[in-house]
Homo-oligomer: A and B are copies of this chain.
Amino acid sequence: MPTKRVTSHDVARQAGVSRATVSLVLNRSESVVIAKETRERVLRAAGELGYKPNSAARMLVSGQSETIGLIVSDPSILLVDQFVTQVLYGVETANRQLGLHVLVAGLESDGPGSTYDDLVESRRIDGLIVLNPKAGDAALISLIEKDFPLVLVGSVRHPREVAVTFATRPALMKAVDHVVGLGHRRVGAITFSPRSFIATEARLAALEAGLRAHGLALDADAIEIGDFSPESGHCAGLALLSRRPDVTAIFAGNDTIAIGVLSAAHALGRTVPQDLSLVGFDDLPFAPWLTPALTTIRTDGVHQGQIATQMLFERLNGRSPAVPRVRLEPDFIVRASTGSAKP
CB of A101 within 8 A of CB of B101, answer: no
CB of A122 within 8 A of CB of B290, answer: no
**Taking CB as reference atom, which chain B residue is nearest A69?**
B101
Cα distance, A200 to B2, chains bound together (Å)? 36
Q: How far is the CB of A114 from chain B (nearest CB, A)?
A: 10
CB of B285 within 8 A of CB of A231, answer: yes
Contacts of A105 in B (CB 8 A): 92, 96, 101-102
Give the copy number: 2
Cα distance, A148 to B263, chains bound together (Å)? 48
A220 near B: Cβ within 8 Å?
no
CB of A104 within 8 A of CB of B102, answer: yes
| Apart from A56-B60, A101-B105, 20 more pairs, CB < 8 Å | A1-B146, A2-B147, A5-B123, A53-B122, A54-B122, A55-B122, A56-B59, A75-B92, A79-B285, A85-B85, A96-B105, A101-B124, A102-B103, A104-B104, A231-B289, A233-B289, A256-B286, A259-B286, A259-B289, A291-B291
CB of B256 within 8 A of CB of A302, answer: no
Contacts of A289 in B (CB 8 A): 230-231, 233-234, 259-260, 262-263
- Residues 275-301 of chain A, each 1 if its beta carbon lies under 8 Å from chain B, else 0: 000000000011011110100000000
Sort A-B residue pairs by CB-CB distance and give the 5 closest, nearest first.
A56-B59, A52-B121, A56-B60, A55-B122, A230-B289
Known: A55-B123, A93-B75, A263-B290. A67 touches B117 (CB 8 A): no
A86 near B: Cβ within 8 Å?
yes
CB of B266 within 8 A of CB of A56, answer: no
A309 near B: Cβ within 8 Å?
no
**Taking CB as reference atom, which chain B residue is nearest A63?**
B56
CB of B78 within 8 A of CB of A88, answer: yes
Cα distance, A60 to B230, chains bound together (Å)? 47
Cα distance, A263 to B260, chains bound together (Å)? 16
Cα distance, A302 to B102, chains bound together (Å)? 21
With an 8 Å Cβ cutoff, the count of chain A residues facing the other chain is 64
A29 near B: Cβ within 8 Å?
no
Cα distance, A170 to B146, chains bound together (Å)? 56
**Taking CB as reference atom, which chain B residue is nearest A70?**
B104
Cα distance, A193 to B70, chains bound together (Å)? 30
Contacts of A229 in B (CB 8 A): 285
Within 8 A of B (CB), among A97-134: 101-106, 117-119, 121-124
Contacts of A146 in B (CB 8 A): 1, 3
Contacts of A5 in B (CB 8 A): 123
**Taking CB as reference atom, which chain B residue is nearest A293?**
B263
Q: How far is the CB of A92 from chain B (nearest CB, A)?
A: 5
Contacts of A119 in B (CB 8 A): 101
CB of B260 within 8 A of CB of A79, answer: no
Q: How far is the CB of A12 from chain B (nearest CB, A)?
A: 18
Q: How far is the CB of A315 from chain B (nearest CB, A)?
A: 11
Cα distance, A76 to B92, chains bound together (Å)? 11
Contacts of A148 in B (CB 8 A): 1
Cα distance, A15 to B65, chains bound together (Å)? 30
Cα distance, A80 to B121, chains bound together (Å)? 36
